[in-house]
Amino acid sequence: MSEITSPESRSLWLAQSLSSLLASPHVHIPNVGIEMGPGPVDMFSVRFDQMFTPDAQGFVCGEEVDRESLKESLLGLQRRWNEKEGTCKASKVHQTELLDFHPEMAARLEFTPLFMYPAHHEIVMAEAR
C-alpha cells in the first residue's frame, strides 16, 4: 500500500483489494510429497499474500483469528460471494474503545449468496489497520 494517507483513500484501497481477492480463483493443490511440474496458479493465495503481512490477525464474528484462520474465513466468504450481484464499497470506520483494535479503513460488502434458497441479502463489514 503506497502513500495512501486519508481514511477515505485507505478504505477505497481495502474495498478494491477485497473485490479483487474475492474474484480470484482458488486452486487447492494437495501436497502429495512429489514434485510436479508447473500447474495452475492459485491467484487467491497470491493476492492474499500480497494483501496481508505474515503476522496479520483479524476478527471474524467477534473472535480474534490468526492469519491462516483469516484466510480460511475469506475463502468461506468467497464460496458464498456472488460477483455478478455483489458490491464492495469503501465505508466509514467505526471506532471502538472495547478492543485494542482501532481500524484505519473499512469496506462494506453486500450480496445475495450463491446457491441459497430462499435468497437472503447479506452485508459484511470489513475493517483493517
pLDDT digits (tens, 9 = 90+) for 13-38: 989 999 999 999 988 766 667 676 67
| CATH number of the structural domain spanning residue 55 | 3.10.450.50
Q: Which three cell numbers stand for residue 4?
A: 495512501
In total, how many domains does the chain have? 1
Cβ(106)–Cβ(82) under 8 Å?
A: no
Residue 32 falls inside a structural domain: no
- What is the end-to-end Cα distance of the chain in Å, rounded? 12
What would the grid cell of residue 78 be?
Answer: 468467497
Residue 52 domain-assigned (yes or no): yes
Is 106 contained in some domain?
yes
State residue 96's pLDDT score. 65
Q: Is the pLDDT at 1 greater than 60, yes or no?
A: no
- Residue 93 falls inside a structural domain: yes
Q: How does the average pLDDT of the chain come out, rounded? A: 82
Assigned domain for 34 exists: no
Containing structural domain, residue 81: 7-26+41-128
Would you place residue 101 in the very low, low, confident or very high pLDDT band (cuts 50, 70, 90)?
low
Q: What is the mean pLDDT of residues 81-93?
A: 87
Overall average pLDDT of the 39-51 stretch: 88
In this predicted structure, which of 27-31, 51-55, 103-107 has the lowest mean pLDDT? 27-31
Residue 32 CB burial class (10 angstroms; 0-12, 13-18, ≥19): exposed
More confident residue, 94 or 73: 73
Q: Could you tell me if residue 31 is inside a domain?
A: no
pLDDT computed for residue 80 by the predictor: 87
Would you say 102 and 93 are in contact if contact means Cβ atoms under 8 Å apart? no
pLDDT of residue 37: 67
Of residues 126 and 99, the one with the higher pLDDT is: 126
User: Is the pLDDT score of 47 beyond 90?
Assistant: yes
pLDDT at 122 over 80: yes
